[in-house]
């Protein structure tokens, strides 16, 4: 069913009794051309682009929980392409462009809101760093604006400009960046993939990867064995566990990242604001709640919940940037398991096993990458060839000495 103003009217007149589920609940077939492990944003986007752009339609997505129960429903919904390194920026800009056309492409309202992302700076040195980053963005054809203090005061008057330790001197703004409704992204891709014939199989946990003569022949699951021609892993925080089933040794550590939402408020924060004194980011959802988060907790973890001390630190950062936040009540807090890579950048690549493909290492930047990750991964699976914008994101880059280390933190996953 195609969604339109007409479909709303027609369904309203028939008492809203004829809406169909957005995707089927099929029984798994015995064999698929491609099986994707992980029904999160990236796995669903991969399935969608495989079917739509690359003509591979005999595809299944296996999800151990319900669809969108992992990080795609746990992030702070920010989409942006304000990266610095030449290995990253074209990839994220490709993603940003896919975001801009996504709603029309999917015929689904993902509530993309290009409200602008501004990263604040608090010192001359930090200003220099952001000028450099802005110039790096321009060199890849992405617009960035340096907003100086007086102009910023008019734009966002409620910030703590005269903080003694971290005075706000200005910010780097990407106007095209913003937020998208994360659940709708998962649902939209699921519906789109389903319409192209992809089987989305929920509550189906992969427990083993069967190999014969050095190639994958299928997966053991909680719903029995399912054969496949190609196997694609998009298991995010559980990538090491799934990779282990095929003896992959991965440059990953799983860490917990927390996010928070406050009670609903009247519209007050128009942009996505990123604090430069720490790594705090905040935006306001269309429902009114302030959505925010900061760094990972710092210790490796598979628990989808974090530590109170980190929660306190996040709140302190927020109040330091926006003192008015101190009176707002937090409604909910939750955690997600991040597949932190050794250089802070993702991995989209083939593996030592010919028909096994790998998509992981998204650290805590996976949501904004969802469309490009899916597209590039589908490109790789369908053609056995890396998409041009993902060339720097190969698995062997560590061995070759070409790490893509945006933070310059070295091979220390909890510092990225």
Give contact residues for other proteins (rule: CB under 8 A).
238, 240-241, 249-254, 298-303, 307-309, 342, 398-399, 411-414
Least spacing, CB of residue 336 vs other proteins, in Å: 14
Q: Give the residue with the Cβ less far from other proteins, 55 or 401.
A: 401
- In angstroms, how far is CA 341 from the centroid of its own chain? 14
Least spacing, CB of residue 339 vs other proteins, in Å: 9
* Cα distances (Å, whole numbers) of residue 93 to 34, 336, 361: 27, 25, 18
Q: Return the ∠ at Cα 245 (arms to 239 and 247), rounded to 5°.
A: 95
Q: Give the residue with the Cβ less far from other proteins, 58 or 414.
A: 414
Least spacing, CB of residue 333 vs other proteins, in Å: 15
Q: Give the residue with the Cβ less far from other proteins, 346 or 374.
A: 346
Least spacing, CB of residue 311 vs other proteins, in Å: 11
Least spacing, CB of residue 370 vs other proteins, in Å: 23
Q: Give the residue with the Cβ less far from other proteins, 199 or 253.
A: 253
Q: Give the residue with the Cβ less far from other proteins, 252 or 322.
A: 252
Least spacing, CB of residue 403 vs other proteins, in Å: 9
Question: What is the rounded distance in angstroms from the CA atom of residue 389 to the CA atom of residue 406?
Answer: 16
Q: Give the residue with the Cβ less far from other proteins, 148 or 247.
A: 247
Q: Give the residue with the Cβ less far from other proteins, 240 or 283.
A: 240
Least spacing, CB of residue 412 vs other proteins, in Å: 7
**Torsion region of 235: left, alpha or beta (phi above 0 gives left; psi -120 to 50 gives alpha):** alpha
Least spacing, CB of residue 308 vs other proteins, in Å: 7
Helix (H) or strand (E) holding 5: helix 5-13
Q: Give the residue with the Cβ less far from other proteins, 41 or 413.
A: 413
Question: What is the rounded distance in angstroms from the CA atom of residue 206 to the CA atom of residue 388?
Answer: 31
Q: Are 283 and 269 in contact (CB under 8 A)?
A: yes
SS3 294: strand
Question: What is the rounded distance in angstroms from the CA atom of residue 3 to the CA atom of residue 154?
Answer: 40
How many beta carbons lie within 10 A of that of residue 382, not counting itself? 17
Q: Are 411 and 343 in contact (CB under 8 A)?
A: yes
Helix (H) or strand (E) holding 311: helix 308-321
Question: What is the rounded distance in angstroms from the CA atom of residue 413 to the CA atom of residue 416?
Answer: 6
How many beta carbons lie within 10 A of that of residue 32, not counting itself? 26
């Amino acid at each position: 069913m195609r969604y339109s103003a007409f479909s709303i009217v027609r369904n309203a007149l028939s008492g809203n009794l004829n809406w169909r589920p957005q995707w089927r609940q099929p029984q798994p077939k015995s064999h698929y051309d491609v099986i994707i492990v992980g029904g999160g944003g990236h796995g669903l986007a991969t399935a969608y682009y495989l079917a739509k752009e690359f003509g591979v339609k005999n595809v299944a997505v296996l999800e151990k929980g319900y669809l969108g129960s992992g990080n795609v429903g746990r992030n702070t919904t920010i989409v942006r392409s304000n990266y610095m390194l030449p290995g990253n920026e074209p990839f994220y800009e490709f993603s940003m462009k896919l975001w801009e056309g996504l709603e029309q492409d999917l015929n689904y309202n993902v509530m993309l809101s290009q409200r602008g992302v501004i990263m604040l700076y608090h010192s001359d040195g930090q200003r220099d760093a952001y000028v450099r980053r802005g110039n790096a963005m321009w060199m890849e054809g992405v617009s960035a604006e340096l907003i100086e203090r007086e102009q910023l005061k008019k734009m966002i008057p409620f910030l703590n400009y005269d903080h003694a330790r971290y005075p706000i001197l200005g910010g780097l703004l990407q106007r095209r960046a913003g937020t998208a409704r994360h659940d709708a992204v998962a649902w939209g891709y699921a519906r789109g993939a389903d319409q192209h014939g992809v089987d989305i199989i929920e509550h189906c946990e992969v427990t083993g990867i069967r190999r014969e003569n050095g190639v994958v022949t299928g997966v053991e699951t909680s719903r029995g064995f399912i054969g496949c021609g190609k196997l694609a892993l998009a298991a995010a925080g559980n990538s090491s566990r799934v990779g282990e089933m095929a003896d992959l040794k991965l440059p990953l550590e799983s860490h917990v990242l927390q996010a928070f939402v406050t009670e609903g408020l009247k519209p007050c924060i128009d942009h996505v604001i990123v604090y430069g004194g720490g790594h705090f980011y905040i935006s306001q959802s269309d429902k009114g709640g302030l959505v925010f988060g900061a760094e990972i907790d710092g210790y490796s973890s598979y628990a989808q919940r974090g530590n109170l001390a980190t929660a306190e630190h996040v709140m302190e950062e927020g109040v330091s940037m926006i003192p008015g936040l101190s009176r707002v009540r937090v409604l909910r807090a939750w955690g997600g398991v991040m597949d932190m890579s050794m250089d802070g950048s993702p991995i989209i690549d083939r593996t030592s096993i010919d028909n096994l493909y790998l998509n992981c290492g998204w650290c805590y930047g996976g949501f904004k990458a969802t469309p490009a990750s899916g597209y590039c991964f589908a490109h790789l699976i369908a053609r056995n060839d890396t998409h041009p914008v993902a060339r720097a994101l190969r698995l062997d880059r560590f061995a070759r000495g070409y790490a893509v280390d945006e933070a310059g933190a070295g091979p220390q996953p909890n510092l990225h």
